[in-house]
Structure 1
Amino acid sequence: MNNNRYYLEKFFPVASFIAAIVGPKCEVVVHDISDPERSIIFIENGFISGRKVGDGSTDLVLKILKTEAYREEPFIANYKATGKFGQNFRSSTYFIKNDDQELVGLMCLNIDVTHMEVAAEWVQHILQGGSPSFLASPEAPPRQQEKPSAEYLQGNPDDLLQHMIGSVIGKLAIPPDRLSSQEKIDIVRELNDLGVFLLKGGVSEAAAALSISEPTVYRYLQKLK
């Protein structure tokens, strides 16, 4: 048993307690950050996201490790996450630390609100009623847009890499093979900030996506230090 387990196993009954109170639409996960590719060591209601013990970290977990955001706050709460089955979640993460206040793991709550959002929209429609377009006020404020998802609940490291790299490459206006060296360095920097290179295969996947060699990716990373 590694040293992390001593602290992490204390949260197993807490995770079960929370899941029992909130109900079957609440997934509670305990991550051991010492192994990002198999970080899930305990999970309740994992059927919601399709994850299980032995699955890997999410994109948010990797970003937390890379940015050391856990040094500023004891937790982050009520952010949006999405699941691989298309669900919407309201999620929160508690930072588990050892006696020296170093991060050893995370306890994450993911509440599936997909059907709640549909129901809420229906209730609002019934309560507010609909108006013909010619009666609508021209000064009515536009509907507030939903904040973008902060986390993608995916337990397979290979799929997570594809998702993270694709989210960055997908923003490009031109094909990767037409980018300048500096533009490719900037993309490697963004991928590094997201924690892509904390996963095995991150360098090779990034190299393939950018149409460059793996040694070139390592060379770009050296320039970022």
Structure 2
Amino acid sequence: MVKRTAEQRVLLDQIKQIADGLGQTLAPFCEVVVHDLLEPEQSILAIHNNLSGRAVGDPTTELGQARITDPDYPQVLANYANQFADGRQAKSTSIGIKDASGNYIAALCMNVDLTLFRSLQMAMGQFVQTATDGPKETLDPAGTDALRDRIDAFAARLATTPRALKTEERRALLGELKASGLLDVRRAMETVAAHLGVSRAAVYSYVR
């Protein structure tokens, strides 16, 4: 058993706590592993959401060995392609942990199983597909484009955005819209409220 300093013991304990929290947050899609690089032959101290089939006490990986032999090895390797033993594709991130002397003592590793996400990506791609030769139809009430354009132009004159308009500026805007007849457009109040990011009741109060 390798003798560790008090600082190293504290660091390893804190890393285990971080791994526990990450594991709970990212379950069940992300495996979170803590490696003790002071004992590379049995480096795995903790493993959460086990996706790789490894166990506590298993040896370190090639990255662990590289960090042990080279203190200048990159501390963070993020989002690199990886693969589980059964062939499932993974996205991995490995974070090396150094002690006060600048030597690697541990690694916190995260391995995301991409299988489900790629299935979802394909399903979503199919779901959002639309026919290019279908009929032309709009579900937006006539005139709402002009209403939004007028709001955008008003905000642009003030060098701001519709959602950043102040109360008095909104009152002035509604006055302009009313005078131009744009508030007579069907569902005008709902359109204005959505574009300004406020409630319909607030829009009615600006018109008074």
TM range (shorter): 0.5 to 0.7
Give 1:61 shift. Answer: 2.5
CA distance in 2, matches of 1:90, 1:125: 24
Give 1:118 shift. Answer: 2.3
Determine helix, strand or coil for the equivalent of 2:86. coil
Q: Where does residue 109 of structure 1 map in the other structure?
A: 110
CA distance in 1, matches of 2:93, 2:19: 13
CA distance in 1, matches of 2:126, 2:67: 38
Q: Where does residue 10 of structure 1 map in the other structure?
A: 14
Q: Where does residue 50 of structure 1 map in the other structure?
A: 53
2:63 corresponds, among 60, 68, 71, to 60
Q: Where does residue 38 of structure 2 map in the other structure?
A: 34
Q: CA RMSD in A?
A: 2.4
Instruction: Give the TM-score normalised by the residue count of structure 1.
Output: 0.51
Give 1:126 shift. Answer: 4.6
8 A Cα contact 2:37 2:105, kept in partner: yes
Determine helix, strand or coil for the equivalent of 2:53. coil
CA distance in 2, matches of 1:15, 1:28: 6
If asked which structure has higher relative contact order (CA below 8 Å, sep 6+), I would say 1
Letter in 2 for 1:2: R
Give 1:16 shift. Answer: 0.6
Instruction: Give the TM-score normalised by the residue count of structure 2.
Output: 0.54
Structure 2 gap ranges (5+): 133-208
Q: Where does residue 79 of structure 1 map in the other structure?
A: 80
CA distance in 2, matches of 1:114, 1:89: 8
Larger gyration radius, structure 1 or structure 2: 2
- State the identity %: 29
Paired positions, count: 128
Q: Where does residue 88 of structure 1 map in the other structure?
A: 89
